[in-house]
Every structure is written in structure tokens, then in C-alpha cells.
Structure 1
Amino acid sequence: MTSSRTWLVTGASSGLGAAVAEAALQAGHNVIATARNCIKAAEANPRISKLGGTWIELDVTSPNTTKLVEDAISKAGGVIDVIVNNAGYSLLGSIEDMSENEIEAQFSTNVYGAVRVLKGVLPFMRARKSGTVVNISSSAGIDGLPTCAMYAGTKFALEGMSESLSRELEPFGIRVLVVEPGSLRTNFWSAYVEPVAGMNKAYAGTPLENVLQAFKTNKGTQPGDAVKCAQRILEVVDDTGMGVGKGSLLRLPLVPDCYKRLQSKVDALQETLLQTKEIAHSTGF
């Protein structure tokens, strides 16, 4: 039986974030759930409150994020065991059509937002020399599809940041887990953002437009179950169920489509290494 821990889950208003918050509560943990609009989030997810979860209003793009997180943890008793950086969205389209403001907003939410939250959480974890950081990446964090240049860019950034963090935080007893969900049957993809400028006509009929159209028509057909994914995350964090013995994992791919893309990426990287071995070794002093 896992002892009760305190979790903070960002972007808990819907989808995977809401599912993780609910799974943690059902397992007997304390949960601080964040959303940009707590009233709407609580109405959409009544079980979180009924199970004892606490809502706080948090927009991770705000410069006040770190202080708000610190205040929420202090109010909860000054202990935080698990942080789940889940808040995010996808900006899809050609980078030619994206304004700098649109690109900055994408990175401010998906990358800097996680950093702002971590700055509020890590001092508490370091003080107790324990804790788990769960950064929600994506299959796009290992394999960038057409239309996803900026979204994949943010997830690749989160992946690299997490790799370094895992090594930096190990001396403090803090674990980092990168979760890589495939396509989930949630409202995530129906809530994606396209550039205000629209699509450059030069991309008509190209892979970019084809993939974008596929995203637009896949609602309700995605292969991933957010509730099952949330349960697997919980188990890996708590060392229970299918997560027993997985405490050393840095990455957790979820949904068969993500696993397949990760396997293809590993195979391609191996082939690249084989083809470039002689070239790489020819360039030393």
C-alpha cells in the first residue's frame, strides 16, 4: 500500500491532466489541480472536488506562476511529492505562416510554463531530498510530423531539459519521468491552434496539408485511452501494478502508436550511426 503523497497537476481541466488528477485521488493521494479557469474546470470535472482535490487558478504563461505554485504548496503544508507538468497546447501549420507572437506563446506555455512551475516546486523537493517530476511530452517529442514543427520543437525542448534535470536532481533524491503519450481520444487535437495568417497556398497538396487534414478528421478515432494512460503513470510513479520495478525509467511511452514511432526512431538512429561511423571518426585531431 503506497503512502499518501501530495501531487500538483497542471492543466487538469480536461484530458490527460484531469485523468491523472482523478487517478491520484482515487489512489488516496492529495491533489492540487490547476486550471486557467477553476470554476469551469471544477464544473467539468466534479469528481476531482468530490474526491478531495483542491483547485487553484494558474496560467503557466504568467510571470507570477512560480510564486502562485509556492503559495499553493505552502498552504497545503509545505510538502510536494509529485509535480505533473501537463499544461500545454499545439500550434499546427507551416512555420512560414506563424507569427513570432504565436511561436512565443507556444513556447511560453509548453516549455517556459514547465520551467516556471519547476522553479516553484524544486526548492520544496530539494529540502526534503525526495520527489518526482513528471513532464508530459508527446510522441511529437521523439518524432516530428509535418505541421508540428513548433509543437514538436517545444516537446523536444522538454525532452532535452528533462534529460539534464534527471542528472542534476539525482543527488537530491528527485526523480524525473518523461511521459510520451501517443494520440489520445481527448479534446486535445480538436483544441489545436492554427496560424491566424492561414496556410500558404504553396503547401497545398503537400505532406503538411495532408497531415493537418488528418488531424482535423481524427476526432473520436484516436487509439489512446487517457484514463488508462493516467493509471499507468500513477503506477510507474507509485511503484505499483505495471509500474513495479520501473523506478529507473526516464521515459514512459504510452499508446501503441507512440511505441511504434519510438521504435522507428531508434532504428533510424541506429542506421545513421552505422552509416556515419567512419565519417565521425575521421574528424578527430
Structure 2
Amino acid sequence: MSQPVWVITGVSNGFGFLLTLRALKAGHRVVGTLRNKAKNTRTVQQIEAAGGEVMEMDMTESQESIHRKIKSVGRIDYLINNAGYAIFCCLEQMSEKEVNTQIATNVFGPVYAMQAALEGMRARRSGLIVNISSIAAKDPLPTSALYAASKAALEAASESLAKEVADFGIGVTIVNPGAFRTNFLGQLQLSENPMPSDYKDSVVGQTIQKFANADGNQAGDPEKGVERIFEIATGEGIAGELKGKVLRLVIGEDAFTRMKSNNDRFVQDFMMGKKFAFSTAFD
């Protein structure tokens, strides 16, 4: 069997960086993307020293640009859409630029990357797309409205795509991480607009402070989280048994608990409205 090829977006740190090293350790070819090599020289050196390749790509680039860069890799067996970021603030506060950049980075960019990889995967009748979402998509907290919306959009696209490409031997997996001890919270981004004073002592201000306090204290071990992702992708290890059997991988006890609680509330509301749903047909 030829050397498996991975394209992993957002390898400057966190899950993207660790998954790159894990796949390289397995002897696979990995092409990682990040926005600026000059600002991440140490990361680039580490990846290249391990045998990987790094390509500059911003997820807000045009469809044509992302297509060209992804297709330049050649055969792709695993596309991992990991790049993304969050702005934490109240919805009312976000500027037009922030709204557009949040959605472009977390939705449009990954969609363009998937489009570029799918042509070759479809021709070979094989391949796997892994989209790194968030528990925020299934249990949005205050301050993360647009981030949660962007991840929910990515998940909906993933669910539809999985049905579109199943006949071509292409798999799609959604990963919902909880709080892992990466630098995600350490890079906490706030809106460029001032927060209206009403929100400062409300649940919005309190949640932002909780996020800040949680940095460095997250329960999730990123090395273990990445190992589960690698396993479900390759069919190896303890999570390997899930490959091809599930659409979603939830990692982190906190993510599992929050998602179940949110789902239980949804089912309760859903069933309470059953008679009204059935009341809308023509007599």
C-alpha cells in the first residue's frame, strides 16, 4: 500500500500541530497549512524536521486560491479541517468584519478545501474528510453565538456531504472536542467594538471571565484527544472500531455530558410539540 497522504489545516498549534506529528510518526505523508510561516518558524521547523511539509494558506482566501493550493498536493487520503478560531463577545457587539471573518474562516474555507479534495477522492473511490467542530455547535454558551453558528453550519454541511459521497467510498467524520489544554483559550479574542455596559455584569461578562480563568486548567489532554482522532481516521487503536460506523466522535467528558444534557432538553421540547406538529396537515 502506498504512503497515506494527509492534508491538515491549522497546524500552527494545538490539535493541528499534534495530529501532524502523530501522522508523521506513523510514516504517513503530511502537508500542513497555516497562515504565515514567518510567524511560526519554530512550528515549521519541527514539522519539517519530522518529515512533514508546510504550506501557507489562510482560510479566508478565495475559492480559487484554496482549490489551487489543496489540489497541488496531489492524492489526498485524509483531509482534516482543523483551522478555526473564535471571537468571544455578545452577538450585539460584533462588527461586520468580525462576523464575515468568523464565518469565512470556519465555514467557507473548510467548504472550499473539501471541494478541492473531493474530486480526487471521488475518482479513486476512497478518502476521509474529518471536520473538527466543537461542543459549542451542540451546546452554545453565551459569548459564542457566531462561533457556535459557524461550527453548526460546518456540521450540517458535513451531515449532508456524508450522504452525498457515501456511494463513492468517501467517509465524513465530525469531531466535537470539549475543553482541552491547548492555547485556544490563551488566544482569547474579544470584539474590536466595546461591550455595551449592560452586558458587563451579566452572564456574558461572567462567561468571558470563566473562559479566561479556565485557560491552563482544562481537563482534556490534547495528546489523548489527537490519538482518538488518529484512531478513528485510520481504524487503529481503541477508537478504531468506530471507523465507518459513526458520523460523530465526541472527545472529552465535559463535551459528552453537555451534549447529552442538551440533547435531552431537545427531545423533551420535541415531544411536547408533537400534537401541534401533527395538527398542521390539510383535513
Q: Same fold (TM over 0.5)?
A: yes
| Cα distance, 1:19–1:216 mapped onto 2, change above 3 Å | same
Q: Which residues in structure 2 correspond to 1:175-214 (within 5 Å)? A: 175-214=171-210
Structure 2 residue ranges without an equivalent (≥5): none
Q: Which residue of 2 aligns with 1:83?
A: 79
> In structure 2, the residue corresponding to 1:180 is in which secondary structure?
strand
Q: Which residue of 1 aligns with 2:97?
A: 101
Alignment of 1:225 onto 2:229: no
Counterpart residue identity of residue 218, structure 1 = A
CA RMSD of aligned residues (A): 1.4
Asked if the contact 1:88/1:109 (under 8 Å) is kept, the reply is yes
Query: Which residue, out of 146, 160, 163, partners 1:164?
Result: 160
Counterpart residue identity of residue 69, structure 1 = I
Asked if the contact 2:44/2:54 (under 8 Å) is kept, the reply is no
Alignment of 1:277 onto 2:274: yes
C-alpha displacement of 1:158: 0.7
Q: Which residue of 2 aligns with 1:256?
A: 253
**Distance in 2 separating the partners of 1:138 and 1:224:** 13
**Distance in 2 separating the partners of 1:244 and 1:104:** 37
183-192 vs 37-46, greater mean Cα deviation: 37-46
Q: Which residue of 2 aligns with 1:149?
A: 145
Counterpart residue identity of residue 67, structure 2 = T
Q: Which residue of 1 aligns with 2:28?
A: 29
Structure 1 residue ranges without an equivalent (≥5): none
Counterpart residue identity of residue 65, structure 1 = I
Q: Which residue of 1 aligns with 2:71?
A: 70
Asked if the contact 2:188/2:212 (under 8 Å) is kept, the reply is no
Counterpart residue identity of residue 69, structure 2 = L
**Distance in 2 separating the partners of 1:198 and 1:216:** 18
> In structure 2, the residue corresponding to 1:8 is in which secondary structure?
strand
Alignment of 1:43 onto 2:42: yes
Asked if the contact 1:18/1:45 (under 8 Å) is kept, the reply is no
**Distance in 2 separating the partners of 1:191 and 1:5:** 32
**Distance in 2 separating the partners of 1:56 and 1:39:** 12
Q: Which residue of 1 aligns with 2:262?
A: 265
Query: Which residue, out of 211, 214, 239, partners 1:215?
Result: 211
C-alpha displacement of 1:231: 0.6
Q: Deviations over 1:75-131 (max 9, x none)?
A: xxx211000001110011111111111100000100001012112211111110100
> In structure 2, the residue corresponding to 1:190 is in which secondary structure?
coil
Counterpart residue identity of residue 251, structure 1 = R
**Distance in 1 separating the partners of 2:253 and 2:171:** 25
Q: Deviations over 1:244-276 (max 9, x none)?
A: 321221111111110011111221122112211
Asked if the contact 2:136/2:144 (under 8 Å) is kept, the reply is yes
> In structure 2, the residue corresponding to 1:133 is in which secondary structure?
strand
Counterpart residue identity of residue 192, structure 2 = V
Asked if the contact 1:42/1:55 (under 8 Å) is kept, the reply is no
> In structure 2, the residue corresponding to 1:282 is in which secondary structure?
helix
C-alpha displacement of 1:70: 1.1
Q: Percentage identity across aligned positions? A: 38
Counterpart residue identity of residue 176, structure 2 = E
Number of residues of Structure 1 aligned to a counterpart in Structure 2 = 279
C-alpha displacement of 1:39: 4.0
TM superposition score normalised by structure 1: 0.94
**Distance in 2 separating the partners of 1:53 and 1:249:** 29
> In structure 2, the residue corresponding to 1:191 is in which secondary structure?
coil
> In structure 2, the residue corresponding to 1:60 is in which secondary structure?
coil
> In structure 2, the residue corresponding to 1:237 is in which secondary structure?
helix
Asked if the contact 1:144/1:152 (under 8 Å) is kept, the reply is yes
Counterpart residue identity of residue 208, structure 2 = L
**Distance in 2 separating the partners of 1:199 and 1:91:** 13
Asked if the contact 1:89/1:192 (under 8 Å) is kept, the reply is no
Asked if the contact 1:42/1:48 (under 8 Å) is kept, the reply is no
**Distance in 2 separating the partners of 1:233 and 1:4:** 19
Counterpart residue identity of residue 68, structure 1 = K
**Distance in 2 separating the partners of 1:39 and 1:204:** 37
> In structure 1, the residue corresponding to 2:241 is in which secondary structure?
coil
